[in-house]
Amino acid sequence: MDQFKHLSPKFKEVAAQSNENRIEFLKQKRWISYPVANRVLDVFAETLNHPKQARMPSILFIGESNNGKTSMIERFSHLHGQSYTCEETELLIKPVVAIELSGPNMRDLYYTILQEFWAPITPNETLAMLRRTAIDQMMQSKTKLLIIDEFHTLMNGTARARSEILAEIKRISNKLRIPVIASGVPNAANVIREDAQIQSRFSIVRLPLWEKGKDFISLLKTFETMLPLRKPSNLASREIGEKILNISKGNLGNIHGLLQVCAIEAINNGTEQIDKSIVESFSWYTPTEGPREIQL
């Protein structure tokens, strides 16, 4: 495997495999470590381990769509939120409960929490019973943190509906004395601005788009060590790096997707490296804001 010196050791073996296996490997989801992501995970860990108090500090994690927020939440949950059964009590311990909202509906909030515990729920259950069961379940399972993804969907309802569900979220935090991490696109900040008490509890962590600089160069170098191509591509060079940045508009999901299709093309055409011409051929790989039109 000495001929693949541009790759990380664990990816050298993949580079030696068939084209079909390498393309399948490229399509699989995997964690990519970089400084900003690591700092976000550190902030989350500090929030998780904050000493219990009457008003627990919480986080509003915002960033553009497809820019890595959900991947960071999944990574954090994997590192810190693994469920297990206590040997002494035989009870389920679930340090982190991560849910996804679809709008400002209080029944949906508690129903979604209870789904994380596989709790039996009858369709006509009252809100009061759902609330009590969910809070009791989290208390019994020693839940230390509630993560709410797609927080911006609360903007889909009325001001009254938002006020009610924010009160429920505050109730959960107060009752269990646990912090909340809410995640969404930038306009999620408008949700907490409507309630002064809620706003005072949340610190905002904003995930930026990528720009020119050493961090972006480091990211491209990391990608290059993971792409199972048999020749180095020099992605961090000025002519290729700037093309990648311009096409992706600095959005991490777009960067990842662009490099994925470029790497597949490099495997299929036998060049085994991503050069400027391949990147330019995928200039149709437009940013997340609009639909991508696949060129035939």
Return the CATH number at 147. Answer: 3.40.50.300
**Do 149 and 198 fall into the same domain?**
yes
Strands (E), the chain: 58-63, 84-85, 92-93, 96-100, 145-149, 180-184, 202-207
pLDDT at 96: 97
Claim to verify: residue 72 and residue 195 sit in the same structural domain? yes
Total count of residues recorded for the chain: 296
pLDDT along the chain (296 residues), means of 10: 83 94 94 91 97 94 94 96 88 95 93 91 88 96 97 93 94 96 95 90 95 94 95 96 95 94 97 96 75 60
- State the CB neighbour count (10 A cutoff) for residue 155: 17
Two structure tokens written together for 230? 């048999």
| Domain with 259 in it | 2-29+211-281
Contact 242, 58 (CB under 8 A): no
* 109 contacts: CB under 8 Å, gap ≥ 6: 99, 101, 165, 168, 169
Please check whether residues 62 and 142 belong to one and the same domain.
yes
Check residue 254 and give its pLDDT.
Answer: 93
Q: Is residue 290 part of a domain?
A: no
Q: Are residues 202 and 71 in the same domain?
A: yes
Q: Which residue carries 């208390």 as its tokens?
A: 139
Place of tokens 């609009």: 290
Number of domains in the chain: 2
Last residue of a domain, one of 184, 207, 230: 207
